[in-house]
Structure 1
Amino acid sequence: MSLVETALARIPQPYRDLAIKHRELVKFAFVGGTTWIIDTTVFLLLKSTVLETKPLTAKIMAVLIATIVSYVMNREWSFRTRGGREKHHEALLFFLVSGIGVGVYSAPLAVSRYLLHLQIPEVSLLTQEVADFVSGQIVGTLVGMAFRWWAFRRFVFPDENVRRQVPGATP
């Protein structure tokens, strides 16, 4: 039994049927969760060390690193049967959509810091850090993932069941 099948078997009904029906979305969400952990770890590491005074730069770098991992995982797992484009064209579109996504992901942090002035000395260090986390890691991630889900299916991997499936591989 594959990892996906094992995970699906643990989901109670009627949610299991829903997860199976939307398997591609579940995989995309799993990839998103994995890359969110990468993004968060890199963001917090950079923001607390070498980019302490540049949180927006730290966020953009973290998203870029997570995006590279996301491409590999989405192409080879989440959207493994979708395609319709030559690989180099697909990769270019993926990174273009993801580049736009960097702006979408980063916008809430920019609003928090530079429009709402939720930064020292206007607010306490704790308030700044909570605002950075909520705006950058929660709001930005949710808005960015919704945008990317739509754009990947629409532009990057537009056609269903066009890539050869490997016999015995996990769907």
Structure 2
Amino acid sequence: MTVVDSVLGVLPSRLRRLALKHRELVKFALVGGTTFVIDNGIWYLLKLTVLNDKPITAKAIAIIVATIVNYVLNREWSFRTRGGRERHHEAALFFVISGVAVGINLVPPLISRYVFNLEVPHVSLLVQESADFISGSIIGMLLAVGFRFWGFRRWVFPDELGQVR
């Protein structure tokens, strides 16, 4: 019995039916939650240490590391019954879509920091860090996730190339 089957067995029947109907989305969300923790852990580690004066660079590095983990987990778990392309072609499409998503993810913190000047000394450290988190890890991430899910299903792991495993 897989972990997913164990979790589904515990859910109430109505919720179980919904989870089964949208299994791919649930798996995508779980992978996203995992990479959200990786992204933010690396971002804050870098931002509060070696890249203290370069928070956008720290965020970009964190997103890239999380994206690599995201590819492996999505390929091997979330979308494992989709695709059918050669791995190098699929990976190239994945990283192109993810590259665009990185740009989408970085727009809100760039606006927060450099348009609204929500950075020290213009605001307190608490306001700066709150604005960074809300703009980079909430708004930017949500915009990028929506784009990734659409792009992955449309181009990277299209259903018409799916393989039953």
Structure 1-normalised TM-score? 0.93
SS at 1:14 equivalent: helix
Alignment of 1:68-147 (within 5 A): 68-147=68-147
- Indicate the residue corresponding to 2:24 in structure 1: 24
How far, CA to CA, are the matches of 1:2 and 1:60 in structure 2?
Answer: 34
- Indicate the residue corresponding to 2:8 in structure 1: 8
CA RMSD of aligned residues (A): 1.2
Contact persistence 1:81–1:160 (CA under 8 A): no
Greater helix proportion: 2
Identity of aligned residues (%): 58
Gaps of 5+ in 2: none
1:117: Cα distance to partner? 0.9
SS at 1:43 equivalent: helix
Contact persistence 1:81–1:161 (CA under 8 A): no
How far, CA to CA, are the matches of 1:162 and 1:99 in structure 2?
Answer: 24
1:151 aligns with 2:142: no
1:160: Cα distance to partner? 4.8
How far, CA to CA, are the matches of 1:9 and 1:148 in structure 2?
Answer: 29
Gaps of 5+ in 1: 166-171
How far, CA to CA, are the matches of 2:123 and 2:68 in structure 1?
Answer: 35
- Indicate the residue corresponding to 1:162 in structure 2: 162
Q: Which amino acid aligns with 2:20?
A: I
1:4: Cα distance to partner? 0.2
How far, CA to CA, are the matches of 2:87 and 2:78 in structure 1?
Answer: 16
1:164: Cα distance to partner? 4.6
Structure 2-normalised TM-score? 0.96
1:40 aligns with 2:36: no
Contact persistence 1:105–1:143 (CA under 8 A): yes
Q: Which amino acid aligns with 1:19?
A: A
Query: 1:84-107, CA deviations, whole angstroms, 9 ceiling, x for partnerless residues?
Result: 321110000000000001011111
Contact persistence 2:97–2:148 (CA under 8 A): yes
